[in-house]
Chains A and B, each alone.
Chain A
Amino acid sequence: MNCVELQESLAEVEDASSGEQRAHLRACPACTALVRELDLIIAAAGELQAAEEPSPRVWNSIEVALRQEGLIRRSQAGGTFIPSFITRWGAARWLVPAAAMLLLALGIYVRRESQPRQLAQEATVTVPSASASDLDDSDLMQEVAANAPAMKTQYEDNLRQVNESIRDAQGVVDESPNDEEARRSLMDAYQQKSMLFEMAMDRSLP
């Protein structure tokens, strides 16, 4: 066996344990070094197994998708809310999720309404709280910034997008109160916002 044959044979017998391989290695320092170096690479490779941590964005996106697909529900186990959120907001901590749930309930009511004109009025009723809604947004962002700065940008983006969606959809509903698709979009946007609030309150923050 020569050096080329030895190297080729390592694909099949990688630990160089065959009789021919051992005979060649005894007489060839270069191939002995090669085998030793390949062993070093194999040993070092094992250390690469689980070294990296994904960014918080990954779980955030997973949770949004799971909620959108209806695969998860709120845990029944107690004490899962963010502690600092509870202590800092005191009794008022319920205002944000309550507002979100109210929006959601209104959305469901509007969607189920049969009279298009009345629907438009109901849909419009949900929006005037824009200033209040903005205030809630900023409060929520302060909380996210304080507890999980790494996720602040993600929440800001999500909130901005969902607020834009609400504005756009409301504009279309105002112009065309009978547009079923527009009403559905509006309610979907409110649901997404409700979901974001719920996530921030519930478990997205570490």
Chain B
Amino acid sequence: MRPEKGDLTEPRQHQSTDLSEAEAIERAKLGDAEAFQVLYDKHKRRVYSLCLRMTANTAEAEDLAQEAFLQLYRKIATFRGESAFSTWLHRLSVNVVLMHLRKKSLPVVSLEETTQGTEEDSPKKDFGADDLALAGSIDRLQLQRAVDSLPPGYRTIFVLHDIEGYEHNEIAKIAGCSIGNSKSQLHKARMKLRDLLKMNRAEKAGKSRAG
């Protein structure tokens, strides 16, 4: 099931206070330290997880989460409540990460798109009956590792669409690419993930046979 886009509410909140989010926002606008922490506690996992998925690097993700929250707090006085706070924070966090990727000169959208794909990514490969099927469910940790090993361009689109729930028109706007490009990158990312997961299963099967 597709996640609710931009819903950054923590699944489990560890708050030391009963402040509601609306109250916390209003108090944070006045510089209340406790309110800042309430907002951080409420949204830290989603923001950090987003950063981690898009960078595949713990230290970078922490720095980016920190930057996202700092930007949030600097701008919170301008939040008027037209959109959900979590959506606002989510978009801000995505922008922080994309800016970071651009500064690192990592392609936000894969450059391979402009060359009509590579041999590896073109849809010529057919997995026949001999392949290990991805039956049942996919192990979360394995998928996480596979996502981390995607090229940055593919990873960005996959995270935004399949993990964070953005639509292609939104991704095109955020990432500065065409809608068609976003769709194509996403499909290639999924195909690549499928390959990675199958390779992983094949390796495991080989090891268990050898053991």
Q: Are B49 and A66 in contact (CB-based, < 8 A)?
A: no
CB contacts (< 8 Å) of B183 on chain A: these are: 11-12, 14
1/0 per residue B68-109: CB within 8 Å of A? 011001100000000000000000000000000000000000
Q: Which of A7, A69, A202 has the most CB of B within 10 A?
A: A7
* Interface 9-residue window, one of B158-166, B170-178, B203-211: B158-166
* Interchain nearest-CB distance for B71 vs A (Å): 11
Q: Which of B53, B126, B190 neighbours the largest number of chain A CB atoms within 10 Å of its CB? A: B190
Q: Are B10 and A55 in contact (CB under 8 A)?
A: no
Contact-residue size bin, chain A (C-beta under 8 Å from the other chain):
35 or more
Alpha-carbon distance between A191 and B138 when the two chains are bound, in angstroms: 52
| Residue from B14, B17, B36, B62 within 8 A of A54 (CB atoms) | B62
Given contacts A46-B1, A52-B48, A54-B44, contact A41 B33 (CB under 8 A): no
A-chain residues with CB within 8 Å of residue B162 when the two chains form the complex = 41-42, 45-46
In the complex the two chains form, what is the Cα distance from A44 to B136 in whole Å?
11
Q: Are B144 and A48 in contact (CB under 8 A)?
A: yes
CB < 8 Å neighbour of A41 from B3, B34, B46, B143: B143
Are A71 and B73 CB-contacts (below 8 A) given A30-B126, A48-B53, A59-B37?
yes
Provide the main secondary structure of the chain A interface: helix
Give the Cβ gap from B24 to chain A, nearest Cβ, in Å. 11
Please tell me if the beta carbons of B31 and A73 are within 8 angstroms of each other in the complex: yes
Q: When A and B form their complex, what is the total count of cross-chain residue pairs whose Cβ atoms lie within 8 Å?
A: 153
Find out whether the CB atom of B138 lies under 8 angstroms from the CB atom of A62. Answer: no
Is A65 an interface residue when CB atoms closer than 8 A count as contact? yes
CA distance A107 to B203 in the complex (A): 64
Q: A91 interface residue, CB < 8 Å from B? A: no
B123/A43 in contact, CB under 8 A: no
Q: How many interface residues does B have (CB within 8 Å)?
A: 60
Q: Which residue, A42, A53, A65, has most C-beta atoms of chain B within 10 A? A: A42
Say yes or no for A49: interface residue by CB 8 A criterion: yes
Q: Is A203 an interface residue (CB 8 A)?
A: yes
Beta-carbon nearest neighbor of B128 in chain A: A30
Which residues between 37 and 75 of chain A lie within 8 Å of chain B, taking CB atoms? 37-38, 40-55, 57-59, 61-63, 65-66, 69, 71-75
Q: Which residues from chain B contact A14 at a C-beta distance below 8 Å?
A: 183, 186-187
Q: Which chain B positions have C-beta within 8 A of A206? A: 14, 16
Is B184 a contact of A66 with CB atoms below 8 Å? no
Residue of A nearest to B46 (CB): A50
A10 beta carbon closer than 8 Å to chain B: yes
With a cutoff of 8 Å between Cβ atoms, the chain A residues found around residue B52 in the complex are 52
Evaluate whether A52 and B45 lie within 8 angstroms (CB atoms) in the complex, with A12-B183, A71-B73, A72-B33 already known: yes
- What are 6 A-B residue pairs whose CB atoms fall within 8 Å in the complex? A29-B129, A40-B134, A41-B134, A41-B194, A54-B48, A71-B31
Q: Which A residues fall within an 8 A CB radius of B?
A: 3-4, 7-8, 10-12, 14, 29-30, 33-34, 37-38, 40-55, 57-59, 61-63, 65-66, 69, 71-77, 80, 202-203, 206
Question: With A40-B138, A57-B62, A77-B34 given, can you name 16 additional A-B contacts, CB distance below 8 Å?
Answer: A38-B190, A40-B137, A46-B1, A48-B140, A49-B163, A50-B8, A50-B46, A50-B49, A62-B73, A63-B33, A69-B74, A71-B36, A72-B32, A72-B36, A73-B31, A75-B32
